[in-house]
Copies of this chain bind each other. A is one copy, B any other.
Amino acid sequence: MLIGQSEVRGTEGVIRALNPATLKEIEPDFGAGSAADVHRACVLAEEAFDSYRESSLTTRARFLRTIGQGILDLGDTLVERTCAETGLLRSRVEGERNRTVGQLELFASVVSDGRWIGATLDSPQPDRKPQPRPDLRSRKIALGPIAVFGASNFPLAFSVAGGDTASALAAGCPVVVKAHSSHLGTSELVGRVIQHSVAACGLHPGVFSLLLGIGNTIGELLVKHPAIRGVGFTGSRNGGTSLMRIAAERPVPIPVYAEMSSINPILLFPQALKKNAHVIAKGFVDSITLGVGQFCTNPGVVVGLMGEGLEEFKRAAASEIATRIPATMLSPAIQSAYRQGIERLKSCRSVATLAEVSFSEKECLGAPALFTVTAKQFLANASLADEVFGPSSMMVECEGRDEMREVVERLPGQLTASLFVEGSDAEIARSLLPMLERKVGRIVCNGYPTGVEVSYAMVHGGPFPATSDSRTTSVGASAIERFLRPVCYQNTPVALLPSALQDSNPLNLPRLCDGKLKQP
């Protein structure tokens, strides 16, 4: 473990990563941490907080870029270890590494830009009656030390130096990461890069710590620790809701940003199918099998209107699936849950198997499966809307528009919804749009939900249970806002005013002055 600038061997048992492709453990072993380790990391983070949140924008941007460069400098050492621990293809791991570095770069730009500070100045009105109006200025400051949980399915982009860490560090929050136990070596490599970057940028050692643990104990202690002021999590619904409960029951409750389960409906409209059924079906199978279906944006349900177009789509999707081969899943636990999910669907009398590729039970493999059900049967069985994490999907066939509306209405909150629309489809799509806006974070047209762009406009969020907090995104520039809170300064002399709010605007920030935005 890395606690500040120290390297600490945990004494609460031994853990090893596993290669899911060979089912062999990978050296070295790691020591699991204790309550005392959690406490030490959190206290150190609290000590680092005041200096880190006031570090200059330049320093903080440099810090994020230094981490990014350090990750690139690890070269094949990192890529190979990540491939071994996850079974992911080298191309995928390299892509994820570039995305991780890109995220750090985006947040470096966001930090430098300074819009996130939300500097706001209201002029005093000393002669106003009955009372003079004071001089009021506000800015946003960091929330405090943040606990980040590594995600099993994103060993780089949503783990030690992933999106939650990057956005929290950008906001000025120290971070304590609980590594995911399935990629310990990857976590150590990236953790050391951050640890070195902290030192290289002259920051307080408590800005970053990395903890390891067996089971949920370390994570729970972390979320309960009084120094921790917020939580970033990507994982299962059980895990996320359990952290939400712990956080709400603290003497001082804290926000939890949990990105959990989603089945990402795809809606197929008649004109689009008439024109492109084969192309859409091929892209659909690519999307459900991408990364062996182990994405939170994996499309787990396809809703269409019965008819020739849908039949053609089904035939095309079925024959496309038959061309795919089993691939290694992230871990035996995920593989076993996927198998059970598929078996559960197969055991439903109302569910028909449209296509599947068989795969060995003994290896850690997964292969695609596509099921169909009528809308009536889907509506009669709420559990059919539960996520099956892996490369499977379910077609819901509707007799008409009203049934289609009813199916969509019944779905719980989602990260995304995708619409395939051509020409006159726009009319029915438009009638469904208000409902979709209420239900999802991102609406995709004529495309697939997998592949989450890291940019300014991205929203990777959505109503519960897709996430714990629909007001935020965990991907993209706005993710920084999750870790900020506003502070107002009334009639404060310049000697006590933060530089962001001084008259001369020494940081060259965009500022809202008496309600009008002024660019520097």
Contacts and interface: CB of A to CB of B under 8 A. Distances in A.
B133 A496 contact: no
Chain A interface bracket (under 10, 10 to 19, 20 to 34, 35 or more): 35 or more
A510 to B, nearest CB: 7
A495 B95 CA distance: 34
A252 B433 CA distance: 22
Given A131-B451, A430-B496, A441-B488, A457 B137 contact: yes
Interface string A136-176: 11100101100000000000000000000000000000000
A493 B455 contact: no
A442 B134 contact: no
Given A122-B455, A248-B244, A457-B138, A486 B473 contact: yes
A487 B515 contact: no
Contacts of A470: 143, 485
A384 B349 CA distance: 65
Interface stretch (A4-12, A193-201, A273-281, A461-469): A461-469
Instruction: State the main secondary structure of chain A at its contact with B.
Output: mixed
Interface in A344-381: none
Given A453-B122, A455-B122, A487-B437, A496 B445 contact: yes
Contact of A456 (B430, B444, B514): B514
Given A248-B248, A458-B138, A514-B456, A426 B496 contact: yes
Nearest to A489: B443
Contact of A252 (B430, B464, B478): B464
Interface stretch (A113-121, A299-307, A310-318, A332-340): A113-121
A70 interface: no
A429 interface: yes
A457 B496 contact: no
A341 interface: no
Contacts of A248: 244-245, 248
Contacts of A464: 252-253
Interface in A478-499: 478, 484-493, 495-496
B136 A457 contact: yes
Contacts of A69: none
Interface in A68-123: 95, 109, 113, 115, 120-122
B138 A487 contact: no
* The 8 nearest A-B residue pairs measured at CB: A459-B488, A136-B457, A442-B488, A50-B434, A138-B457, A120-B457, A444-B490, A248-B248
Interface of A: 49-50, 54, 95, 109, 113, 115, 120-122, 130-131, 133-134, 136-138, 141, 143-144, 244-245, 248, 252-253, 255, 412-413, 419, 421, 426, 429-430, 433-435, 437-438, 440-447, 451, 453, 455-459, 461, 463-465, 468-473, 477-478, 484-493, 495-496, 510, 512, 514-515, 517, 519
Given A456-B515, A457-B512, 20 more contacts: A50-B435, A115-B517, A120-B456, A133-B455, A136-B456, A138-B457, A244-B248, A245-B248, A248-B248, A255-B469, A426-B493, A440-B487, A441-B486, A441-B488, A442-B489, A443-B492, A445-B489, A445-B493, A457-B488, A510-B517
